Amino acid sequence: MSHQTARRVSAAPRTNARSVNASRHELGHTKNDLPETTRREATDLLNQRLAECLDLAAQCKQAHWNVKGPAFIALHQLFDEVHEAVQEYADLIAERIVQLGGIATGTTGVVAERSELPDYPVAHLNGPEHVAALSDALAAFGRAVRIGIDEMNDLKDTVSADILTEISRGTDKWLWFVEAHLEGGKP
pLDDT tens string, the chain, 187 residues long: the values are 444 433 333 333 334 444 444 445 678 888 887 899 999 999 999 999 999 999 999 999 999 999 999 999 999 999 999 999 999 999 999 999 999 999 999 999 999 999 999 999 998 999 999 999 999 999 999 999 999 999 999 999 999 999 999 999 999 999 999 999 987 655 5
Q: How far apart are CA 162 and CA 45, in angstroms?
A: 14
Q: How remote is the C-alpha of 112 from its chain's centroid?
A: 10
DSSP letters spanning 9-67: HHHSPPPPGGG--GGGSPPPP----S-HHHHHHHHHHHHHHHHHHHHHHHHHHHHHHH-
Distance of alpha carbon 160 from the chain centroid: 15
**pLDDT in the model for residue 66:** 96
**According to the model, what pLDDT value does residue 185 have?**
54
Of the CA atoms within 13 Å of residue 49, those in its CB half-sphere come to 36
Q: Enter the pTM of the model.
A: 0.85
Domains and CATH numbers, the chain: 33-185 (1.20.1260.10)
